[in-house]
């Protein structure tokens, strides 16, 4: 699922012994902003290059758009045979399946096979017919994904099925790039995958990383400003990509079970240790709605959230206050 994100990272450039550098690149079809701190300029640029290489490695495993990837091979063999994949791809697929089961299909990695009947480019004049909506999700259904952990294979039972990781893949890439940098002794940085954010360490001036959650109804205002060291933040929302009929806003994030766009929540920001998990939760909350979304969050006690409804109401999870400043 695509999503619009409202995260602005406020990075200090205070000049001290450590060198901080930032680079913006296009990876996994999205903008990645990588900020690294190291002892000198050469080291910083080297570490940024290595972060990019790690993200590209992951893209070459899980992209459903690149024909040579293992996921593309799985999709080509839908309804034909199981496909052997490596343990990393298998684990990420299991992660997606876990969210599918927890949400009873409100989150579904097979949604990429859905017919694209909704247009969010301003061209839609009327809603699709109920028949077209029902037909659009015929090839979607996580129940038809078979994972064999012994043989390390994935099998899509029905012809035409596809899986993809647009909903957790960038968060996973941010986590893995952070993990790589930490293993190399890099003390601090941010991997920002179009708003799926993984941070670690303190800035060289001793200050925490600061993330502002933009108010989708006022780009010059923040609903929250959070400071932390090693943490992750993701936001899912419908601020820019939506259609409106009879005064009701329909998000570009589609419910895989019904084929209908999600409504009710404009923005869902989730905070916790892993960008992959936070991403799965935030996407799920948008589809589930406030009540069921908060119930899902309770299954992940290390994670908290801030939700903004279509009416502009701000709702925080019960555990958010104690996590406002992460030490």
pLDDT tens digits along 146-182: 999 999 999 999 999 999 998 899 999 999 999 999 9
Is 1 a domain residue? no
Q: What is the pLDDT of residue 17?
A: 62
Paired tokens of 260: 């209908």
Tell me if 299 is assigned to some domain. yes
In a domain, 285, yes or no: yes
Residue 2 within a domain: no
Distances (CA, A) of 134 to 155, 242, 244, 259: 24, 20, 20, 7
**Same-domain status, 137 and 224:** no
Examine the domain organization and report whether 48 and 115 are in the same domain: no
**Tens of pLDDT along 10-36?**
444 444 468 999 999 999 999 999 999
Residue 26 lies in a domain: yes
> Is 58 buried (19+), middle (13-18) or exposed (0-12) by CB count in 10 A?
buried
Q: Can you point out the beta strands (E) in the chain?
A: 7-10, 19-27, 30-38, 83-84, 145-148, 153-156, 188-193, 196-200, 209-215, 218-228, 231-237, 242-245, 248-251, 265-272, 304-309, 314-316
Examine the domain organization and report whether 102 and 23 are in the same domain: no
- Cα–Cα distance, 220 to 229 (Å, whole number): 25
List, for residues 297-323, the tens digit of each pLDDT value.
Answer: 999 999 999 999 988 899 999 998 755
Q: What are phi and psi of 203, to 5 degrees?
A: -65, 160
**Segment 117-131 mean pLDDT:** 89
pLDDT at 6: 44
User: What is the average pLDDT across 128-143?
Assistant: 95
43 and 108 housed in the same domain: no
Domain count within the chain = 2
Predicted local distance difference test score (pLDDT) of residue 162? 97
Residues of the domain holding 189: 7-60+168-323
Q: Count CB-CB contacts under 10 A for residue 85.
A: 22
Residue 112 belongs to a domain with what CATH number? Answer: 1.10.3980.10
SS3 94: helix
Residues 51 and 79 reside in one and the same domain: no
Check whether residue 265 and residue 299 sit in a common domain.
yes
Task: Provide the token pair at 206.
Answer: 């001793």
Do 142 and 234 belong to one domain? no
Name the pLDDT band for 275 (thresholds 50, 70, 90). Answer: very high
Q: Are residues 84 and 55 in the same domain?
A: no
Q: CA 94, CA 88: separation in Å to the nearest integer?
A: 10
**By the 8 A CB rule, do 192 and 231 touch?**
no
Task: Judge whether 31 lies within some domain.
Answer: yes
In tens, the pLDDT along 193-233 reads 998 999 999 888 888 888 888 888 877 778 888 888 899 99
| Domain final position from 101, 122, 156 | 156
CATH number at residue 218: 3.10.520.10
> For 90-99, how does the pLDDT look when each residue is reduced to its tens digit (9 = 90+)?
999 999 999 9
Distance CA 318, CA 155 (A): 40
100, 127, 156: which is the final residue of a domain? 156
pTM for the structure as a whole: 0.90
pLDDT of residue 2: 41
């Amino acid at each position: 699922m695509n999503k619009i994100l409202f995260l602005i990272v406020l990075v200090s450039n205070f000049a001290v012994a450590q060198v901080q550098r930032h680079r913006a690149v296009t990876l996994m079809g999205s903008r990645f902003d990588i900020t690294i701190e190291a002892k000198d300029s050469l080291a910083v640029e080297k570490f940024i290059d290595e972060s990019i290489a790690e993200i590209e490695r992951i893209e070459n495993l899980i992209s459903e758009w690149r024909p040579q990837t293992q996921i593309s091979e799985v999709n080509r063999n839908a309804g034909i045979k199981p496909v052997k994949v490596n343990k990393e791809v298998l684990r990420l697929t299991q992660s997606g399946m876990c969210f599918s089961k927890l949400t009873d299909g409100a989150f579904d990695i097979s949604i990429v096979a859905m017919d694209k009947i909704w247009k969010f480019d301003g061209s839609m004049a009327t809603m699709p017919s109920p028949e077209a909506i029902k037909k659009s999700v015929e090839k979607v259904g996580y129940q038809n994904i078979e994972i064999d952990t012994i043989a390390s294979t994935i099998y899509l039972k029905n012809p035409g099925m596809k899986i993809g990781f647009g909903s957790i893949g960038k968060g996973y890439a941010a986590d893995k790039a952070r993990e790589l940098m930490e293993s190399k002794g890099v003390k601090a940085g941010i991997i920002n995958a179009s708003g799926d954010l993984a941070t670690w360490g303190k800035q060289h001036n001793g200050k925490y990383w600061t993330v502002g959650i933009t108010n989708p109804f006022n780009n010059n205002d923040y609903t929250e400003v959070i400071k932390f060291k090693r943490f992750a933040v993701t936001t899912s929302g419908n601020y820019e990509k939506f259609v409106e009929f009879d005064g009701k806003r329909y998000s570009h994030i589609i419910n895989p079970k019904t084929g209908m766009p999600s409504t009710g929540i404009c923005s869902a920001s989730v905070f916790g240790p892993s960008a992959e998990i936070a991403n799965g939760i935030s996407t799920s909350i948008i589809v589930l709605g406030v009540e069921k979304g908060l119930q899902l969050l309770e299954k992940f006690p290390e994670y908290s959230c801030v939700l903004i409804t279509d009416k502009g109401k701000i709702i925080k999870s019960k555990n958010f206050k104690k996590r406002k400043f992460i030490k």
